[in-house]
Amino acid sequence: MLRGLYTAASGMFSLERRQETLANNLANAQTPGFKKDDTVLRAFPNLLIQRINDFNEMAKVSGPGAPPIPGYPVPIGDLYNGVYAQERIPSFTQGALVDTNNPLDIAIEDQEIPAQNVKGRQVKPNAFFAVQLPNGTVGYTRDGKFDLDANGNLVTADGYRVIGVDNKPVQINGSISKEDLRISPDGQIIAYSNEPSKTRNIGRIGIAVAQNPLDLRRLGDNVYQSANPLPLIQGNGTNPGVSLHQGSIEQSNVDLGQTMTDMMSTVRGYEANQKILGVYDQSLEKLYTVGRLDG
């Protein structure tokens, strides 16, 4: 009977973690470039229950006509011991691109990157902006809502400096305003593109491609980190399928309707396990009162 209590409790713990993941997805539905997480629920290893000290027809082992063998185990069936939330797996599907007309809003489009064969399975690589973290390491983000800080550095909404192809922060020197900048699909930053006498190339935004994005670790602030630094795209055509769109942002890939539906089904599953615990509690209470002498 206690095994049933443990099974129902494990279901409640797992569904609670799933609900936390869904709530986080919902809270970031309007965060540019946010990638939702999916919770993977797995069953605990099942046990094969057998009946021992019993008779089993030897015919099942050596053929018809054989005598029964005392003590031979007889299979009964499988016993499952509940579920657990094994991990959160991010979904890196492309979010919708929305025009903002802000010259420093940049969206990555990478749907055309060809899939790669990783450990015998097809994996879709993904492109990211490279940013400098406060501790000096490199992080990766899809949030392209950039701006210029007081020193002319190109920064994210959270203040992380954007890294160029030279592995240094991109800096806009002089009195160049963000309205005077044009960013090409391959990341080139060009100032005064409409004035030939003043046109000049300032630098190039660094774009990193993760061949297996599931190896990335989420740090928070919509930033990921890799165990090994990802190489930046250096030349034109070295990584087909990646292009930047100036004046646009990538929305999150959270489906609001599906997320709300999943949250409601998770609550219903939690309530079902809660009722099972109540039934077991009542059964144990009756068992405890059997044979009890009052007074």
> What residues does each domain of the chain span?
1-34+252-295, 97-250
Neighbours of 179 (CB within 10 A): 9
Neighbours of 251 (CB within 10 A): 18
Q: What does the alpha-carbon distance between residue 285 and residue 194 come to, in Å, rounded to a whole number?
A: 82
Query: Which pLDDT score is estimated for 289?
Result: 78
Residue 241 dihedral angles phi and psi, to the nearest 5°: 105, -5
Task: Provide CB contacts within 8 A for 197, sequence distance 6+.
Answer: none
- 86 or 233: whose pLDDT is higher? 233
Q: What is the distance of C-alpha 30 from the center of its chain? A: 16
Q: What does the alpha-carbon distance between residue 54 and residue 271 come to, in Å, rounded to a whole number?
A: 41
Query: Which pLDDT score is estimated for 58?
Result: 45
Residues 68-96 have a mean pLDDT of: 74
Beta bridge partners of 163: 169
Q: What does DSSP say about strands 55-56 and 116-118: parallel, antiparallel, or unpaired?
A: unpaired
| 206 burial via Cβ count (<10 Å: 0-12, 13-18, 19+) | buried
Query: Which pLDDT score is estimated for 91?
Result: 92
Query: Which pLDDT score is estimated for 295?
Result: 47
- What the block records as the tokens of 260 is 């709300």
- Indicate the SS3 state at residue 101: coil
Query: Which pLDDT score is estimated for 196?
Result: 81
Residue 276 pLDDT level (bands cut at 50, 70, 90): confident
Among 46-60, 66-80, 180-194, 230-244, name the most confident range: 180-194
Q: How confident is the model over 62-74, as pLDDT tens digits?
A: 555 555 555 566 6
Q: What does the alpha-carbon distance between residue 9 and residue 275 come to, in Å, rounded to a whole number?
A: 11
Query: Which pLDDT score is estimated for 59?
Result: 42
Q: Which of 33-42, 164-173, 264-273, 286-295 has the lowest mean pLDDT?
A: 286-295
- Indicate the SS3 state at residue 8: helix
